[in-house]
Chain A
C-alpha cells in the first residue's frame, strides 16, 4: 500500500518558522526582488516540502504545488487562449482563485510542468508524481468567452493537456495524476467526460490516476472505473457513499483512498480507518491501493497538514502489517 499526497501543501510554516514564500512574493510585488530571486525561494520551499513529506513517511510525493497560485491559473496562464480575471470561490471552500477566461482557441505551446517536475524529481529521496488539472475541471472553472459550445472547449483542452502529459512522460515519472473534481458536480456530463478522458490519455504509457474530491461517485459507478486510468482517487470524507460502490470495480484497477480529512484540523482515530481499509482490501488488493488525504492539504495550517501526512503514512504501515 502506497502512502501519498493528493497535491498542494501549505506554502508557509507557522511562527517561529519563516514564511519565506509569503515574504518573497510581497517583495517581488513591490519590485524589491526580481523574478529569478522569487524562483529561487520557490525552489527552497519546494525542497522543504519534499523533505517534509519524506520525513512524514510518504512513499510517493508531489512537489506541493508551491509555485501554483491555484490549480487553474497555473495551466491557463501557460496555454494559448486564456486571460485571467478576478477572484472567484473554489467550490464550497473559503478560498478563491483568479478565474481563467477563454478568449481564443485553446492550444498547448510548450511544456508547463516539465521543468518543475524535473526539479522536484532530482531533489526528492522518494518518487514524485506530477499532477495535471484535467480538461473538464479546467473548463468548468473557467469562463468561456470564445467557444460556441462547452463541449468544444472541453475537447480542445483535452487535446492540449494530452500534449502536456506526453511531454511530461519524457521525464519518466512513476505516475501522472489528473485532477477532475468538477465531474462530481455535473454527473450528467459523463458522456462528454468519457470522450475527453480518451483524448487526454491517448498515447500515454506511464501509469495514470484520476483524482476527484468534494463529493461521491454515485451514479458514475461502474462506468467511471472503465475509463483509461490505472487508479481512481476518491474523497471518502465528503463522498462516503463512494465506499459502497467500489464493489462494482472491474478487476485490475487501483484506488486512492482519501480517508484523512484535509479540510478539518481534527485528527482521525486510526482504528476506524484501518477497519475501512480492511473492507476495501477485500475488493482491491493492498498492492493496488494508495492512501492519501481527501484532497490537497492547503486548507490546513502547515503543522496540522504534517500531522495528517504522518497519519496517512502510519495507516499504510499498519495496513501492511495487519491486513497482509
Chain B
C-alpha cells in the first residue's frame, strides 16, 4: 500500500496518568500501580489509533516525561539535575553525565511488547538517538563529545537490537538535535550508524526545529531507511530544497501542525500531500504529523489524525485510479 499513515510518537497523557505520575514522583504511588495506569493509557492510545485507521502505530510514550531524561534515568552514568526551564512555564529535569554511559537493562522493551500485544498492526519501537541524548544533557565526565556520543550509541544499539528481537518491524531513533549544530552532523551520522548497523527492521529518524538548508543534502547520509520531517508548520518550504536536490530516501512527511490548536481541513492536508507528490514519489512517502502530539489535547489529536487519515485515503484513491487508468 502506498502512503501508509503513522504518528511521530507521543500522545497526550490522560489526566489520571498525569496525576499518578505526580503522586509517584512524591513517593505516594508504587511503581506497580503506576505501571497499571500506564498500561490502561497505552491501551487507550492503541484503540484511538485503530479507530482512526492509522497503519503503523506507536505506544504513545505514556511512560516518558522528557525524551532524553527518560532514557538517561534508565542508563548507567547519569544523574538527573534539578529543574530547568524549556519555554514559557515549562520545566524539565535535565540529565547530567557523571560517569561512563552504559545500558545495563532493557529500557523500552517491556512497553513495546505490551503495546504490540494489543494490536495486529505494527507498533514502532521508539528511541532517542545518541547525538540528541548527548547534546541535551550536561556533561561532567567525558573529555570529548565524540566519546560521549559513541558510548551512548553503543547503549542505544543494545536497546534497538533487543526491540528487534522482541518483534519490532519498525524502529524509530529520534534525533531532533541534529539540526541545531550543522557542524557536528558527521558525528551524528557516525553514531546513528552504530545504532542501525545490524538492524533488519525498517529504521526511521525524526528531525525537527532546525535550519535544514544547512544540513541538506548531507542529511541524506543518515544511515536509516526513512527520515521524518516537519513540513506543515513551515508551509512545505522544504519541498523547494528537494526540488534543487532530490530527496533520495523514504520520507516521513509531516502534514499536521502539532503546535496549533486549529484542526486542519481535509482539503489543506490533501493540498499539502499533492504538493509533496510533485517532488517525491508516492512509494517514498509515509504520512504523519509534524511532531509528537503530546502538547495537544486528546480530542484535538483524534480530530487531527482523523483528517490526516481521510485526506491520505482520498489522495491514495485518486492516485490508484490514475495508475490504473
Determine the chain B residues whose CB is within 8 A of the CB of A275 once the complex forms: none
Cβ B82 vs Cβ A266 within 8 A:
no
Kindly list chain B residues whose C-beta atoms are within 8 Å of the C-beta of A303: 82
A96–B86 contact, CB under 8 A?
yes
Question: Is B82 a contact of A87 with CB atoms below 8 Å?
Answer: no
Contact A302 B82 (CB under 8 A): yes
Residue of A nearest to B180 (CB): A92
Interface residues of B in 143-183 (CB under 8 A from A): 177, 180-181
Q: What chain A residues lie within 8 Å of B177 (beta carbons)?
A: 94
What B residues does A11 contact at CB under 8 A?
A: 85
* Chain A minimum-CB-distance residue to B184: A92
Cα A12 to Cα B89 with chains together (Å) = 10
Q: A219 an interface residue at 8 Å Cβ cutoff?
A: no
How far is the CB of B131 from the nearest CB of chain A, in Å? 13
User: Is the CB of A187 closer than 8 A to any CB of chain B?
Assistant: no
A252 contacts the other chain (CB 8 A): no
| Residue from B83, B135, B140, B233 within 8 A of A301 (CB atoms) | B83
A window 273-295: CB within 8 A of B: none
Which residues of B have CB within 8 Å of A264?
Answer: 138-140
Distance in angstroms from B184 CB to nearest chain A CB is: 10
A22: CB under 8 A from chain B? Answer: yes
B88 near A: Cβ within 8 Å?
A: yes
| A residues near B82, Cβ cutoff 8 Å | 14, 301-304
Q: How far is the CA of A96 from the CA of B90 in the complex (A)?
A: 10
Chain B 289-311 interface 0/1 with A at a Cβ cutoff of 8 Å (1 = within): 00000000000000000000000
In the complex, whether B91 has a CB less than 8 A from a CB of chain A is yes
Q: Which chain A positions have C-beta within 8 A of B31? A: none
Interface residue ranges of B224-245 to A (CB < 8 Å): 233
Bound together, the chains give a CA A89 to CA B209 distance in angstroms of 7
Interface residues on A, range: 20 to 34
A298 interface residue per 8 A CB criterion:
yes
Interface residue? A320 (CB, 8 A): no
Give Cα A265 to B139, complex, Å: 7
Contact between chains at A95 and B85 (CB < 8 Å): yes
A146 cross-chain contacts in B, Cβ below 8 A: none
Chain A contact surface mostly: loop
Cβ distance B94 to chain A, nearest Cβ, rounded Å: 8
From A69, A70, A94, residue with most partner B Cβ within 10 Å: A94
- Of listed A22, A97, A98, residue having the most chain B CB within 10 A: A22
Q: Is A29 an interface residue (CB 8 A)?
A: yes
B209 engages A301 (CB within 8 Å)? no
Are A92 and B181 also in contact (CB < 8 A) when A12-B91, A69-B88, A87-B87 are?
yes
B140 contact set on A, CB distance < 8 A:
264-266
Note all chain B residues with C-beta closer than 8 A to A86. 233, 259-260
* Tally of chain B residues near chain A (CB < 8 A): 25
B89 contacts A96, C-beta separation under 8 Å: no
Q: Are B86 and A266 in contact (CB under 8 A)?
A: no
The reply to whether the CB of A147 lies closer than 8 angstroms to some CB of chain B is no
**Is A12 a contact of B83 with CB atoms below 8 Å?**
yes
A302 to B91, alpha carbons, bound, how many Å? 12
Q: Are A22 and B89 closer than 8 Å at their CB atoms? A: yes
Instruction: Tell whether B24 is near chain A: CB-to-CB under 8 Å.
Output: no
Known: A89-B180, A89-B209. A265 touches B89 (CB 8 A): no
The reply to whether B138 and A22 form a contact with Cβ atoms under 8 Å apart is no
**CB interface residues, A 110-124, toward B, < 8 Å:** none
User: Which chain B residue lies CB-closest to A266?
Assistant: B140
Chain A residues near B88 (CB-CB < 8 A): 69, 98
Contact B84 A298 (CB under 8 A): yes
User: Is the Cβ of B85 less than 8 Å from the Cβ of A10?
Assistant: yes
> When each residue 33-59 of chain A gets 1 if its CB lies under 8 Å from chain B and 0 otherwise, what string results?
000000000000000000000000000
Interface centre among B82, B209, B260 (most CB of A within 10 A): B82
Question: Which residues of B44-77 are within 8 A (CB) of A?
Answer: none
Is B136 an interface residue, CB under 8 A from the partner?
Answer: yes
What CA separation (Å) do A299 and B85 show in the bound complex? 7
Closest partner residue, chain B, to A261 (CB atom): B138
Residue among A88, A266, A299 with most chain B CB within 10 A? A266
Question: Is B89 touching A97 in the complex (CB atoms < 8 A)?
Answer: no
* B87 near A97: Cβ-Cβ < 8 Å: yes
A100 to chain B, nearest CB (A): 14
- Contact call A14/B83, Cβ cutoff below 8 A: yes
A70, chain B: closest CB distance, angstroms: 8
Assuming the contacts A87-B87, A301-B84, asked whether A94 and B259 have C-beta atoms less than 8 A apart, the reply is no
The complex places the Cα of A14 from the Cα of B88 at a distance, in Å, of 18
Q: Which of A25, A94, A298 contacts B89 (CB 8 A)?
A: A25
A98 CB, nearest partner CB in chain B, Å: 8
The residues in B between 116 and 147 inclusive whose CB is less than 8 angstroms from any CB of A are: 135-136, 138-140
- Rounded to whole Å, the gap between the CB of A10 and the closest CB of chain B is 7
Within 8 A of B (CB), among A77-133: 86-89, 92, 94-98
CB distance from A96 to the nearest CB of B (A): 4
State whether B89 touches A26 (Cβ < 8 A): yes
5 residue pairs bridging A and B, Cβ less than 8 Å apart = A87-B259, A92-B180, A95-B86, A96-B87, A98-B88
The chain A residues found within 8 Å of chain B, CB to CB, are 10-12, 14, 19, 22, 25-26, 29, 69-70, 86-89, 92, 94-98, 264-266, 298-304
19 further interface pairs, Cβ-Cβ under 8 Å (given A94-B94, A264-B139): A10-B83, A12-B91, A19-B83, A86-B260, A87-B87, A89-B210, A92-B180, A94-B135, A94-B136, A94-B177, A95-B85, A95-B86, A96-B87, A264-B140, A265-B96, A265-B138, A301-B81, A301-B83, A302-B83
